[in-house]
Structure 1
Amino acid sequence: MRIVRLANYVGPRSGGMRTALRELGAGYLAAGHEPVLVVPGRLRGRGDEQTAQGRVITRYGPVVPFTGGYRALLARRGLAALLTELRPDLIEVSDRTTLRWTGRWAREHGVPAVMVSHESLTGLLSLPADVSGMSRWRSRLLANMGKALADAFNRRSVRAYQRIVCTTRWAAAEFERIGAPNLTRIPLGVDLELFSPERYSCTTRDAYAGQEQTLLVHCGRLSVEKKPHRSLAAVAGLRAAGVDAVLVVAGDGPLRTRLERAARRRSLPVRFAGFITDPKHLATLLASADVVVAPGPVETFGLAALEALACGTPVVVSAASALPEVIGTAGVAVDGEDFAGGVRAVLARDPEARRGAARTRAEEFGWPASVAAFLAVHEALNPDSSRSPGQVKP
């Protein structure tokens, strides 16, 4: 089966989305299918290469303002021609914005289409209502407007695609609210060999923290929806409470300069490591930390948090997000802003017990199971999937 996958906001420095696409593509390829991924790039023209996740085609996409360099595919006519040329047996779309039209294209050409919801429109549209100092009635009004707009967009997606795949119950809730009949929930996975407690390194730990210090890591994009300022506030709160904590920020994004200024202004011991390109280096950092902080309130899964658990490191997360159902009891979920309190609650647990619980929880999420579940959805929509890829043409 030729599975043509389309995605926006995927670049050399993107995190969870890029990981999920890579792992699913590699799994499809290993299962004997032909995955083709189409993503935006900075160069005009067309890149086309064979990779470990299958064929990857790059088409020019302009930078989306205020995203820190993310790009989106906009050339609808060219993409439609590309889809016709590729002759997909199934389309898998990881985008809620400029690629939503592909569901209608697929229906018109008799091609099954699946949309993977990697973000919550309700959550993202609620962010303007979550502003300190805003009156309660105005916050409620904006939240209700955001929910109504999300419902309208989601109804259109439900009609356009034959299946909607969400990765958690939290992510699926906005589709359940509108009674979507074509909803499937499939958790993502983690590389349990790469992300392992065996990655712990005294050398790495000593590079970031003293022997008696508590090492925190914030791993994620430095953008508004991720709420990275909460991690800085956690360090400040811990130190005010007498905990000698330091923070490493692994990630980059449009808020980095502002966060660096804030850390300097408050004399906080924060190291900004930037985007870590080497996955082994990232795994070593996560394994060597005492606690990882994942404060984003609109996370629909949180791969970085799961990778931390796989490394044996407990995670403190936002109770407003999907992360509590991912981490289970292998961490702490925080209502509101007191992430310092969440870290203290984790540190109060026996070190060996909390690290063992983290790894045990992560072992419930493997990529093979996730790939198999995605393929089960695809094959159900395309019962004749045993035929040669592209044999039936739209």
Structure 2
Amino acid sequence: MRILMISDVYFPRITGVSTSIQTFARMFADKGHRVTLIAPEYRMPHADADNAEPFEILRIPSRYLVIDPEDRMLKPRALRRHDDSLARQQFDLIHIQTPFFAHYLGLGLAKRLKLPVVESYHTFFEEYLHHYVPFVPSSWMQRLARGFSTAQCNDVDALAVPSHAMLEILKQYGVCTPATVIPTGIELDRFSQGHGERFRTRWGIPIERPVLVHVSRLAFEKNIDFILRMLARVKVQVPDVLLVIAGEGPARGRLERLAHQLGLTENTLFTGYLQRDGSLEDCYCAGAAFVFASRTETQGLVLLESMALGVPVVSTAVMGTKEVLLDGRGSLIAEDDESDFAAKTIRLLTEPDLRARLAAEAVLHAQSWSAPVLADRMLALYADVVAHHDDRLDRHARAA
């Protein structure tokens, strides 16, 4: 199968969407399919990494995006220059990975190339947009998010949705496009080992110091301020606890100020982004537990990555994380309450037997989220969409 993907975001911009695209594209290539990804050019270098992938990456010149400086906007005219070369490759379908500009550019490209369209709904925009346009009332932004999500989802032939919780919300919006729940899997061979001591040495963390880890984009919707307030409660019983926060984003300054206000400056370490070259895996493994409290995740890949490495999780179970986590199977599920969350975190820091049992169960639980298995589910969706598209073309040809 010849698969064309388009996205507003991809590496070196580190997000869960970038990881999802890369994981699926690698799996498709491994299974003998041909993939081309259309993605923005960034100012950061990426050519060497692109060339190392088993699929083609077509970088399109892009513009600066005011509301989120880390992101870029594909230039439509630059994309259209590739129409002839893309048409010659005879793709079977186009998979739009993000809304906003890539959605409309992808629809236009699909029309010009006469291709069916699958779209992934990765992000719960209702709980996202108001953080980036704070001068507009949040209720207005929620209505706007619901409206454009419904319109965009009803524009395409099929949807891939990462969780049943997200699918139910789209149905409530009025989305009627056929949708299939297909989470992103994890490449278990990449998350089979990490070296926690190496991370501690690199960052000057004593081997005996109790460490918690949080990995995510430092965005307002990730609820990391909750984690910091929870940490203040943990510190009462575990005074030398250290929370490692790996990631970067627009909320970093506010989070650092909050840590200072809570008296946690010596109990927090902001590392910035860590590369998936062993550095991130080492970070996970340095922790006694991974802590997470986002209310907007459509899946929560970082939870699976942590568990695959044998690091147990303490997390709330909201939206997609509810489907990833099973209480007692590699994780402790906490209430959306700082006191309850802190109590469960303290248990993992102070009860070695509990931590060891959950660590072993975490590895087993992560096996069921294997990337090749979930890639097969996506390929089955593609085949169904292409077959229906071909049937429509045949019917139209006979009618003419």
TM-score when normalising by structure 1: 0.84
| Of 366, 375, 384, the match for 1:371 | 375
| Of 244, 255, 263, the match for 2:251 | 255
Q: Tell me whether 1:226 sits opposite 2:222 in the alignment.
A: yes
Q: Greater relative contact order: 1 or 2 (C-alpha under 8 angstroms, separation 6 or more)?
A: 1
Give the Cα separation in 1 of the matches to 2:388 and 2:170: 29
1:241-300 CA-to-partner distances (Å, cap 9, x unmatched) read: 445411111111222233334334524411121111243121122123111122221111
- Matched-pair identity in %: 24
Q: Is the 8 A contact 1:208 1:215 kept in 2?
A: no
Counterpart of 2:393 in structure 1 is none
**How far 1:147 moved relative to its partner?**
4.7
Q: Is the 8 A contact 1:201 1:288 kept in 2?
A: yes
| Partner amino acid, structure 2, of 1:100 | H
**How far 1:179 moved relative to its partner?**
4.7
Give the Cα separation in 1 of the matches to 2:373 and 2:73: 30
1:149-176 CA-to-partner distances (Å, cap 9, x unmatched) read: 3332233223311011111112222222
Give matches, 1:151-300, under 5 Å: 151-177=146-172, 178-196=174-192, 198-205=193-200, 209-242=205-238, 244-265=240-261, 266=263, 267-300=265-298
Cα 1:30–1:192, aligned 2, differ >3 Å: closer, same or farther?
closer
Q: Secondary structure at the match of 1:334?
A: coil
Which 5+ residue runs of structure 1 have no aligned equivalent? 132-140, 386-394
Give matches, 1:49-128, under 5 Å: 50-73=51-74, 75-87=75-87, 88-101=91-104, 102-103=106-107, 105-107=109-111, 109-125=113-129
Q: Secondary structure at the match of 1:115?
A: strand
Give the Cα separation in 2 of the matches to 1:301 and 1:105: 29
Aligned residues: 372
* Alignment root-mean-square deviation, CA: 3.1
Q: Secondary structure at the match of 1:72?
A: strand
Q: Secondary structure at the match of 1:160?
A: coil
Give the Cα separation in 1 of the matches to 2:251 and 2:132: 17
**How far 1:2 moved relative to its partner?**
2.2
Give the Cα separation in 2 of the matches to 1:224 and 1:113: 31
| Partner amino acid, structure 2, of 1:171 | M
1:324-356 CA-to-partner distances (Å, cap 9, x unmatched) read: 211222322431444423423544571221101
**How far 1:52 moved relative to its partner?**
1.8
Give the Cα separation in 1 of the matches to 2:210 and 2:69: 31
